[in-house]
Structure 1
Amino acid sequence: MRTTEQVADEFQMTMLETFLKPMHREGIKFVAIFGAVTLVLFLLWPPLGWLGVGLTIWCYYFFRDPKRATPIREGLILSPADGVVSLIEPAVPPAELGMGPDAMTRVSVFMSVFNCHVNRSPVAGRIVSIAYHPGTFVNASLDKASENNERNGLCLELADGRKIAVVQIAGLVARRIVCWAEKGQPLRAGERFGLIRFGSRLDVYLPEGVEPLVSLGQTMIAGETVLADLHADEPRRFGEVS
């Protein structure tokens, strides 16, 4: 039987883990810059310094990299990003990925500047192609962002030969897409493969005949929320925001 002290220690640890998340190494230099500017602001005028403290905390929070409990059942397609489903529509994958001219069902997850921006693989598969495309920086929630914005796409081949595309798209504020995965590399479902700095979106292109199990406006958690199921035969889901 646990003692009162043990219960209190466990509760304290749970609260710390809730609010204090590990930070991805990509954020270290940005937090350092924000911290240095904050010190200067305190020297100039203390109220500005406190504003800098708030921005520094936000910067740390932006680059957080929390652990996720990834479902491991075969056939599940997971959300590659935290955020909100902003688009579900047929679209042709980016030409540079070499996936052909036929339209696939595209599910777009929009990330605000308050979401975790670490991206995770939606499936277990091998990367058969990676293609970077420079572009503009319009609002990532808009449909034209998929074609016009800076983007980086991965084509993943599944064990059964089918292919899925996941595309990182820079947003209005974002200017840097980071991808540390390489062509030919196998990825586990939920494995981290990149991030986008300061507001963006991810598109997932589903294989033919696979319907999304999410609806517009639904909140997604990278590596946890089931976006689709390769083995499911139920029709597309529709939801209502309330």
Structure 2
Amino acid sequence: MTLHREGKGSIAIAVILFLLINVISYKYLFVAYPAIFYLLLLVTFVLLVLVVSFFRIPNRSYTVGTDTVLAPCDGKVVVIEEVEADEYFKDRRIQVSIFMSPLNVHVNRNPVSGEVVYNQYHKGKYLVAWHPKSSTENERHTNVFKAANGKEVLTKQIAGALAKRIVNYLSVGNKVEQAGEMGFIKFGSRVDLLLPLDADIKVKIGDIAVGGITEVARW
């Protein structure tokens, strides 16, 4: 396991706060209130471990398939429904949404190999990620990938109540590899996929997806 480069600043701040809080608490609490000191030490250590874990990159063997659309992130499948596309596409699509909890791996990955034909950042609100309007009203970053077979899939990295920073590494014209890094969301939220209506969906509501590994659909 390694740590993602997006975590450098956050982890450094967390370590500094951990040391500062516990040095001060040792000076003022250790002798008179040792139980409080140890409780504070435990709580701050757990919080530090959580911050570090947010930026972990597990060692994985990623799936590759020209007829396969992979999960763009780790998390729980919370939406599978037919929707009227509100961006780029002008027709109806199948939306698959994956909710990322603060405990999930937060790296976002390309669902297919191909060319990035659309890339757009949108300012917006910070509604909770499972809110029905979060896909269209929250801060988000949209990409459209055109696969070798000519079909296109849209992804939306969506911010939530806790996730206040979306990072996207792609630009229009980029040639990308399936399961390569698309971006990162701090700390959690969700990613939507918009697929053609004839896509063969391979997941169901409640499934736990693994980014770059779980087959969401075939086309």
Q: TM-score, normalised by structure 2?
A: 0.91
Which amino acid is the alignment partner of residue 49 of structure 1?
A: L
Is this contact kept in 2: 1:107–1:204, CA < 8 A?
yes
CA contact (8 A) 1:105 1:205 kept: yes
* Identical amino acids, percent of aligned pairs: 34
Would you say 1:38 and 2:21 are equivalent positions? no
Bigger fraction of residues in strand: 2
- For 2:32, the equivalent position in structure 1 comes to none
> After TM superposition, what 4+ stretches of structure 1 lie above 4 angstroms from structure 2?
none
Alignment of 1:128-147 (within 5 A): 128-147=117-136
Do structure 1's residue 58 and structure 2's residue 50 form an aligned pair?
yes
Aligned equivalent of 1:104: 93
Q: Match of 2:19, SS?
A: helix
Q: Using the alignment, how far apart are the partners of 2:86 and 2:45 within structure 1?
A: 41
Instruction: Select the structure with the greater relative contact order (CA < 8 A; seq sep ≥ 6).
Output: 2
| Counterparts of 2:197 and 2:176, CA distance in 1 | 22
Distance 1:210 1:177 in 2: 28
Q: Tell me, what secondary structure is at the counterpart of 1:168?
A: strand
The letter for the 2-side match of 1:198 is F
Cα distance in 1 for partners of 2:48, 2:84 equals 40
Distance in 1 (CA, whole Å) between partners of 2:161 and 2:94 is: 24
Aligned residue in 2 for 1:126:
115
Could you list the runs of 5+ residues in structure 2 that have no partner in the other structure?
26-36
Q: Kindly indicate whether the alpha-carbon contact (under 8 Å) linking 2:66 and 2:148 is maintained by their aligned counterparts in 1.
A: no
Deviations 1:200-233 (A, max 9, x none): 1000111231131100000000000000111xxx
Partner AA of 2:65 in structure 1: R
Q: In 2, Cα distance between the equivalents of 1:151 and 1:94?
A: 13
Letter in 2 for 1:36: I
Residues 1:228 and 2:203 aligned together:
no
Q: Does 1:216 align with 2:205?
A: yes
User: 1:70 and 1:104 mapped to 2: Cα distance?
Assistant: 26
Give the TM-score normalised by structure 1: 0.82
The alignment of Structure 1 onto Structure 2 pairs a total of residues equal to 207
Find out whether 1:71 has 2:63 as its counterpart.
Answer: yes
Alignment partner, residue 201 of structure 1: 190
- 1:29 maps to 2:21: no
- Using the TM superposition, give the Cα deviation of residue 111 of structure 1 relative to its aligned residue in structure 2, in angstroms: 0.3
Distance in 2 (CA, whole Å) between partners of 1:153 and 1:67 is 27
